[in-house]
Structure 1
Amino acid sequence: MDPRLDRRCDEPASATVAEHHPDPVDSGSSAHPAPPGGEPIRQYRVDLERIRFSPYLSRLAAVTQVISQNAAGGVVHNRLTHSIKVASVARAIAVGVRADPGDRPVIDRLGGCDPVVAQAAAMAHDLGHPPFGHLGERILDRAARGRFGLADGFEGNAQTFRILTRLDVSGVEMVAPGGRAGQTPQPVPNPGLNLTAAVRAAVLKYPWARQGHPQPHPSTADAPPRGGGPGVEGPGSGKFSAYVPDIGEMEAALAAYPEIGAWRQTLECSAMDIADDIAYSLHDLDDFHRSGVLQHAAVAAEFRTWLRRRTDLAAAGSRIDSPADARRPGASLERLRRRLADRDGWIFDDEAFGVAVGRVATDLVDGLLAVPFDSSIAAERALRTFTGSWIDHLRESVEVDPDPPVRSAHLTLGRQAWHEVAVLKFVHQRFVLDRPDLAMFQRGQAEALTSLVVNLERWLTDPVDAGRAPRRLIDLVALATDDYRRVARERPDLLRGPTGEATTGRDDIVRLGRGRGIVDYVASLTDDQAAAAARSLAGLPGQLWSGGSVL
């Protein structure tokens, strides 16, 4: 059997939409040829449908992408609409690279690049995002490490993998024979959605744990992979794709790709990762042009000043970081140029960076932003033309590399497109995320999420009232505690606290399980659910009967 089709548990054939109503595009057509053989197609389509029908995916419609719709005063992307668009781009990338016969030998050797696998991974890639977007990640990470002693804290990619392999359910009853006839059957451990190894591996953007696995660990490398270097807070890698209890699942998925080296993504994972970057770099600009946040004058001053004074800015040395010069037009783009040159010398090129700045200036500054968005048909057409042409251009620039640098992947954007995506993402960072009014709004959300975690722990440790805690919270704590007991039995060397101390004692396991369960619970809430729960537990007035949970 093809190891890419391996599921963690045997199961009877399930009545899925994929099996009874196959999508002609996903199943192969003249425009999008499918790989030969019907079984891989059917299996991957089953995975895609399980993800599509997951309540964790539905929840993303009420989770912030950058800012909530209520705060923006208009229609903005949420995590669900973002995921849908990433899935479309990822599938197109996979179809495109497979169409070049010159790349097929490399693709086949590395395990393939199935469009449906890339699509499924893209639909799933943000399942682990907690309430309030990346802000929520930071708050839960601090709480997990500082309050509960979880050395691997919280990370959205690792949470996604945990949801797919442990927390979600496929709806299929999983039982194993008890042995001799008449013996009571024993339940099989929860397999999550029980996806194929191909799809499980395709969500592993950072295929390592925060620390300790694999060895050597990327955080200790002189030249770590992207995301593998030390994070801003705490030891180990800043990005990773599996918590300690889920390392075995990660190993099993990656074992299906023996030609993919350590620290490397599968091809379908890279297609998803590139698509995420493309969508992020363009659709957030779409949102903030519509809402009037991206002001033409400020963006134009930054780009035109850098293009006019690039030689002087390059020679400015450390003055570019001084308080007097830091916010002057052109300085932020110059800091981006220096940061890229220092961090990504394997691909950075000064001339390519200058061309990228010029192209974004022409298309975005002198084109799209030059005319304020007024909701007219002409404005909608201009916005659609901008995003559509850029998506096509970036998608078509994807290349296959049989032996990539450590910070790259087997699928990568071409050199010029790589610089252009960096410049597009800069616009979003500099003119949206760095705004003081957004920072003030987010600090309030951070306080709410922090108080929610604290009050849930107090509730669960209340000997009188713990039994009245939400049933899902109690279930998740029990599940996580079982996970840590298993790790303590099978791989105790992986159980270390934030400062390296062993955490295998009974009280340690109880604390770790309670902490991971609380984090799993809070991360499964929508923005509004988290805010309402925080208010209720703080004793503030609010609606009592809220209609139940999303999950």
Structure 2
Amino acid sequence: MALAAAEPRAPWAARAEESRGRLVAEPESRARSAFRRDADRIIHSSAFRRLAYKTQVFTYHEGDHYRTRLTHTLEVVQVARSIARALGLDEDLAEALALAHDLGHPPFAHAGERVLDACMAAYGGFDHNAQSLRVVTRLENRYPGFDGLNLSWETLEGIVKHNGPLAGEGKGPLAHAIAVYGEKQDLWLWSWPSAEAQVAAIADDIAYDVHDLDDGLRAGMFRVEELRALPLVGAVIAGIEADWPGLSGSRMVHEIGRRMITLLIEDVVGETRRRAAELGPEDADAVRRLGRALVGFSAERAQGERAIKDFLFPRMYRHPRVMSEMEAAGRMVRELFGAYMADTFTLPVEWRAGMEARDEAGRARRIADFIAGQTDRYALAEHARLFDVGNL
């Protein structure tokens, strides 16, 4: 399947010229579409820069060759743009959503999120996806006319529900930040998101499946031989050995990753075209109303992709080396939250402004915002400042 050339624009693609606009009206750019401007604003945000020092799986001091939130995000962007181009979708919107999908992650990966959610249990909880929305609608303070980045409706919609509907039958309560923002702007939380948002979500799966295999092999948590039992990866390895007998080491590892990305992208493109032909969405809103995902893996590839996740969970994400780091990191986040709640004067001046006027829940949310924005190394420095007796 040739994917290099861009397909004609699909009828069910998002169209920047038909965007529902921004919460605060702004003049249009003569040089860039609304979605291109959204992507550019995200790239220039402080939250995006901080991803460079936030954990993906390995904390930043483990070494320079492992993925961080930033390098992961850039890989998601590459996959998302490739799929969007092949399907005739809006590449700029797919890129914007890929760029923004992890902005709300706190330091220390999912361990940091779990602990912060527990700390916030009495105050509405914490969810990184909802926090991403909070970052781009409130916490970024770059423009004189509004808080946040004032992104297009389609970008905000895709950030908040790229994994599917959030409201309706069988759905639980909305995350705090989403519920609060929903009072300002209706993001159709009951519907599926645009095809571009679905592309960004599946690009995230492809990127972390492949790069976590790569990082796990690099870290010595498992060997290439152990991957042969995985249907997808085993077939890829067999193909490499047929083409390059005797290939081993880093070249073998990189070739596995390269071929896996190609295989999964091509599968998503083929399966999505098949679903589109079957379901016949006529425009972007028809995608939202389908009642199911338009973008996805074929049944065979979905099973193979699930096997990769099932392999990685015990062998990498629950590896003793990772767990010991994450347990220590979790304790650190818990202690930081407790220290800030006990004495808000331990916060930087700009973060404690107005704290006296807030109730307990408001103070907790402000502290959660501060912690979620920290990088791994900043959190380590803050913990040392507050708890290291040598700093007293």
Q: TM-score, normalised by structure 1?
A: 0.59
Q: Is the 8 A contact 1:51 1:123 kept in 2?
A: yes
Q: Give 1:133's aligned residue.
A: 109
User: Aligned pair 1:533/2:374, yes or no?
Assistant: no
Q: In structure 2, what is the Cα distance between the partners aligned to 1:191 and 1:206?
A: 26
Counterparts of 1:42-441 in structure 2, within 5 Å, are: 42-71=33-62, 73-98=63-88, 113-145=89-121, 149-151=122-124, 153-169=125-141, 171-174=142-145, 190-204=146-160, 205-206=162-163, 214-216=167-169, 218-219=171-172, 236=173, 242-249=177-184, 251-254=185-188, 262-296=190-224, 303=229, 357-364=230-237, 379-398=249-268, 399-400=271-272, 401=275, 408-441=292-325
Distance of 2:129 and 2:176 partners within structure 1: 5
State the distance in 2 between where 1:477 and 1:364 align. 57
Structure 1 residue 288, shift from structure 2 partner: 1.8
Which residue of the partner structure matches residue 7 of structure 1?
22
Given that 1:477 and 1:516 are in contact with CA atoms closer than 8 Å, whether structure 2 keeps it comes out as no
Query: Is the CA contact 1:139–1:450 (under 8 Å) kept in the aligned structure 2?
Result: yes
Q: Residue 2 and residue 476 in structure 1: after superposition, are their counterparts in 2 closer, same or farther (change >3 A)?
A: farther
Paired with 1:361 and 1:422, the residues of 2 have a C-alpha distance of 14
Structure 1 counterpart of 2:112, which letter? Answer: G
Tell me, yes or no, if the aligned pair for 2:113 and 2:126 is still in contact at 8 Å.
yes
Q: Among residues 518, 521, 527, which one is paired with 2:367 in the alignment? A: 518
CA distance in 2 between counterparts of 1:216 and 1:248 reads 20
Range with bigger deviation, 533-542 or 57-66: 533-542
- Deviation, 1:430, is 2.4
Residue 49 of structure 2 aligns to a residue whose secondary structure is helix
1:245 deviation in Å?
1.7
- What do residues 483-534 of structure 1 show as CA deviations (whole Å, max 9, x unaligned)? xxxxxxxxxxxxxxxxxxxxxxxxxx61121111000000000001112212
Contact kept in structure 2, 1:299 and 1:431, CA below 8 Å: no
What value does the CA root-mean-square deviation take over the aligned residues?
Answer: 3.1
Say which SS state the counterpart of residue 10 (structure 1) adopts.
coil
Letter in 2 for 1:75: H
Corresponding residue pairs, total: 358
Instruction: Tell me what 1:499 maps to.
Output: none
Q: 1:239-275 deviations in whole A, cap 9, x for unaligned?
A: x6943322235x5333xxxxxx824222111000000
Question: Are the structure 2 counterparts of residues 536 and 365 from structure 1 closer, same or farther at C-alpha, using a change threshold of 3 Å?
Answer: farther
- Identify if the C-alpha distance between structure 1 residues 97 and 196 changes in structure 2 by more than 3 Å, giving closer, same or farther: same
What is the match of residue 504 of structure 1? none
Q: Distance in 2 between matches of 1:535 and 1:126?
A: 26
Distance 1:161 1:281, change over 3 A: same
**Alpha-carbon distance, 1:363 to partner:** 3.0
How has the CA–CA distance of structure 1 residues 172 and 74 changed in structure 2, closer, same or farther, with 3 Å as cutoff? closer
CA distance in 2, matches of 1:438, 1:406: 40
Q: Distance in 2 between matches of 1:389 and 1:74?
A: 24
Change (3 A) 1:216 1:299: closer
Between the aligned partners of 1:358 and 1:386, the Cα distance in structure 2 is 13
Q: 1:77 is paired with a residue of what secondary structure?
A: coil
Measure how far apart 1:47 and its partner are: 1.0
- 2-side partners of 1:379 and 1:407: how far apart? 46
Alignment of 1:492-507 (within 5 A): none
Aligned pairs for 1:442-457 (under 5 A) are 442-457=326-341
Distance 1:513 1:162, change over 3 A: same
Q: What's the offset of the Cα at 1:64?
A: 0.2
Q: Displacement of 1:132 after TM fit?
A: 0.1
1:427 Cα deviation after fit: 2.5
TM-score of the two chains, using structure 2 as the length reference: 0.81
Structure 2 residue aligned with 1:485: none
Q: Are residues 359 and 412 of structure 1, via their aligned partners in 2, closer, same or farther at CA, if it must alter by over 3 Å?
A: closer
The amino acid of 2:171's aligned partner reads P
Q: Within 2, Cα distance between the matches of 1:197 and 1:418?
A: 31
Percent identity, please.
27
What is the identity, as a one-letter code, of the residue corresponding to 1:76? Y
Q: CA deviation at 1:408?
A: 5.0
Q: Is the 8 A contact 1:129 1:159 kept in 2?
A: yes
Q: 2:231 touches 2:304 (CA, 8 Å); kept in 1?
A: no
What secondary structure, in the 3-state scheme, does the structure 2 residue paired with 1:252 have? coil
Which has more radius of gyration? 1
**Inter-partner Cα distance in structure 2 for 1:263 and 1:10:** 25
Cα drift, residue 172 of structure 1: 3.1
For 1:218, the aligned partner's letter is: K
For residue 540 of structure 1, report the CA deviation from its aligned partner. Answer: 3.2
**Higher-helix-fraction structure:** 2
Alignment match, 1:345 = none
Rounded to whole Å, the distance in 1 between the matches of 2:105 and 2:314 is 23
8 Å CA contact 2:94–2:197 kept in 1: the answer is yes
Which of 1 and 2 has higher RCO (CA within 8 Å, sep 6+)? 2
In the other structure, the counterpart of 2:13 is none
Counterpart Cα distance in 2 of 1:527 and 1:95: 35
Runs of at least 5 residues in structure 1 that lack an aligned partner in the other structure? 20-40, 99-112, 175-189, 220-235, 255-260, 304-356, 372-376, 461-465, 482-508, 545-551
